[in-house]
Structure 1
Amino acid sequence: MKALLCHEFGSTENLKLTNTESPKPEKGQLVISVKACGVNFPDSLIIQNKYQFKPELPFAPGGEVAGIVKEVGEGIDHLKVGDRVFSLTGWGGFAEEVLADGYKTLPIPEGMDFITAATTMYTCGTSLHALKQRAQLKEGETLLVLGAAGGVGLAAVQIGKLMGAKVIAAASTDEKLTLCKEKGADEVINYSTEDLRERIKTLTDNRGVDVVYDPVGDHFSEPAVRSLAWQGRYLVVGFAGGAPASIPLNLPLLKGASIVGVFWGAFAQKQPKDSMANFRQILAWIKNGQLKQHIHHQYPLSEGAQAIQDLMERKVMGKNVVVIK
């Protein structure tokens, strides 16, 4: 089979399309013939050896796949050869075949295509867990989404609206903010041309926001925390801006606020019933047309490195997807 392998850690230039052996399932595992693989920010970290999971070299990036079950290992009884499935594999998805754990693999609902299945659950799973379990977002509250035109950002904008919040979307270009408005944002902030904190004051009549959803980090974090309302919640989702920020701890003290970590992968493993309930809600919203991923571009497997590079250079609105034919 063909796979886009990382033979040494570093840039996307180290990813090479390679002929390699097909994987073999062990107990509790299955092999999926990949049809589509979503591109996510951890893909850019894992090839640089900067992610919390560190696979042995060589490996293929790509942790969110959809395809057809090719082979089933011992101990799996909820899936069979030929089933259409989606799975969270961690890595390995930029390949014609991938090894997957049975407990992380589910049937694709009837009527859902492979591209939707491979590009929705990671971002929406993260965002619903963040807003529901971690922030406990309430109807009528104000939600600020940083990096709002990215994959998790757009998911947070849509899910925040579905949960009844007033949503303020912040992003770096007017083009990105136009997309955020199309996805339901009530207000927008261009933090390349506007002062983030002053604009939040204007939009909230100096009250501040109840929840900040931050997948960006870097220099936007502190002004966002300073913009929290009394008993606000700041969600640490990721660091697409390059680095975690240093937050003065007097800020949450003065505001009675909370700084809350969001680690969806650990949540899904440690609270599987709650995670499955979230999945059911996401799938219902998708089926009803209330939640829809924006696909920025589709790439063949041979251009998978470019798909990650475009994400790293912040050219992507919504999600990139690698399609394998």
Structure 2
Amino acid sequence: MTYKLSEVGAAGASSPPKRERQSMYRAVVADELGPVGHYTLRHLPRPQLEAGEVRVALVAVGISYVDVLTAEGNYQVKPPVPFIPGSEAAGVVIETAPDVPDVSVGDRVVCGGWYGLLADECVLPRDAVTPIPPGIDLVEAAVFPASFSTAWHALVDRAHVRPGETVLVLGAGGATGYAAVQVAKVLGAHVIASASTHEKRALATGGGADATIDARAADWRDAVKAANGGMPVDVVFDPIGGAATDAAFRSLAWCGRHLIVGFPGGIASLRTNLPLLKGASLVGVNIRQFYLSQPDKAAANMAHLLDLASAGRLRPAVARNYPIEDYALVMAEAAKGESAGRIVVNLNMR
């Protein structure tokens, strides 16, 4: 369970009287999965803490394409309803269960889960929150966990990227793509970033990309090869899918690794003779299953990533902040995927 939701009122129910609001919190909720019109901002009863739990006053919530896909009921796994979107956030601990000794009231933390965080506070198991080291802004921390943990798991745990290898990042101006650019540079790789707009390519350059490619260029494969000195690439980080997957796989070197991270562009039809001819690997990256099956390793990865962020070596890009009242605009913008940088609900905005 990522959150606790009880006694939810019907959609459109009137706000509770002011004198009762101390026992309430606000969240964006739908009784059935579907388009943004199904969702309303409601006051809900604050659940009591159970053993092993903490309560966090949220400062910022990141909303991604996957969050919207899940909210619409179009993700590959369907969550239970009533449903609160939001899978990453940051805030301050305001209450802990007696059996939680290592987190204290006042600690700044990042919060992760599959859903339940598009709210002004949340109750989570202790292992779903991670203390934030100094030097990391809470708004940036809110959009750090999912993207950077995915990029690290893909490039380190799955592809085993080595210094000097070339990593081609598709969708380099998106959330995970931009994180992958930075992680690949930390690993000592030569990074080629492919993105669809000038703004997104500029963002990738700012994140450390050694070269950028227009994702819509007619001579895209030739441009990728030229950006790598006429040589094929070692690793492809692919959060796009569709036609981009085939072209990128054909750009791989012998024993290359192609990381399948997502497929908003559609599910590709890759000819199976290509992996054989190249001795190459098609590698799936399922970050949710990784967290479920290897929680200790996932937690260690996140702790290491936060240390790198604290040292200034990793940093997410925030495009815009919105108040929670503008949740419909936030979800629509995240669904489009056109922003160079992340969209954040900032609970300090009114």
TM-score range, shorter chain: over 0.9
* 1:10-29 alignment runs, 5 A limit: 10-29=34-53
The aligned counterpart of 1:68 is 92
Q: Give the structure with higher Rg (CA).
A: 2
Amino acid in structure 2 at the alignment position of 1:288: A
The aligned counterpart of 2:157 is 133
The aligned counterpart of 1:306 is 329
Given the two structures, how large is their TM-score scaled by the length of structure 1? 0.94
- Bigger shift: residues 102-111 or 226-235: 102-111
- Tell me the SS of whatever aligns to 2:259: strand
Amino acid in structure 2 at the alignment position of 1:252: P
* TM-fit CA distance, 1:92: 1.3
- Tell me the SS of whatever aligns to 1:55: coil
CA distance in 2 between partners of 1:159 and 1:214 (Å): 14
Query: Conserved in 2, the CA contact under 8 Å of 1:23 and 1:97?
Result: no
CA distance in 1 between partners of 2:310 and 2:109 (Å): 16
CA distance in 1 between partners of 2:80 and 2:98 (Å): 24
- Tell me the SS of whatever aligns to 1:86: strand
The aligned counterpart of 2:342 is 319
Cα offsets for 1:243-287 (capped at 9, x unmatched): 221211111111000011112232233333432332233222212
CA distance in 2 between partners of 1:117 and 1:202 (Å): 36
* TM-fit CA distance, 1:53: 4.3
The aligned counterpart of 2:200 is 176
Q: CA RMSD in A?
A: 1.8
Query: Conserved in 2, the CA contact under 8 Å of 1:64 and 1:122?
Result: yes
Equivalent of 1:280 in 269, 285, 303: 303
Equivalent of 1:230 in 245, 254, 272: 254
* TM-fit CA distance, 1:13: 2.6
Query: Conserved in 2, the CA contact under 8 Å of 1:23 and 1:98?
Result: no
Amino acid in structure 1 at the alignment position of 2:188: G
* TM-fit CA distance, 1:5: 1.2
Query: Conserved in 1, the CA contact under 8 Å of 2:134 and 2:310?
Result: no
The aligned counterpart of 1:152 is 176
Equivalent of 1:38 in 45, 58, 62: 62
CA distance in 2 between partners of 1:25 and 1:235 (Å): 40
The aligned counterpart of 1:49 is 73
Given the two structures, how large is their TM-score scaled by the length of structure 2? 0.87
Amino acid in structure 2 at the alignment position of 1:173: T
The reply to whether residue 119 of structure 1 matches residue 143 of structure 2 is yes
CA distance in 1 between partners of 2:337 and 2:166 (Å): 26
- Bigger shift: residues 33-42 or 249-258: 33-42
CA distance in 1 between partners of 2:177 and 2:72 (Å): 23
| Distance change >3 Å, CA 102–CA 295, structure 1 → 2 | same
| Distance change >3 Å, CA 79–CA 284, structure 1 → 2 | closer
The aligned counterpart of 2:274 is 251
User: Which residues of structure 1 form unaligned runs of 5+?
Assistant: none
| Distance change >3 Å, CA 26–CA 52, structure 1 → 2 | farther
Equivalent of 2:131 in 90, 94, 107: 107
Identity between Structure 1 and Structure 2 (%): 39
Query: Conserved in 2, the CA contact under 8 Å of 1:88 and 1:104?
Result: yes
- Tell me the SS of whatever aligns to 1:185: coil
CA distance in 2 between partners of 1:13 and 1:43 (Å): 15
Instruction: Give the number of equivalent residue pairs.
Output: 324
- Tell me the SS of whatever aligns to 2:222: helix
| Distance change >3 Å, CA 195–CA 177, structure 1 → 2 | same
Query: Conserved in 2, the CA contact under 8 Å of 1:89 and 1:101?
Result: no
User: Which residues of structure 2 form unaligned runs of 5+?
Assistant: 1-24
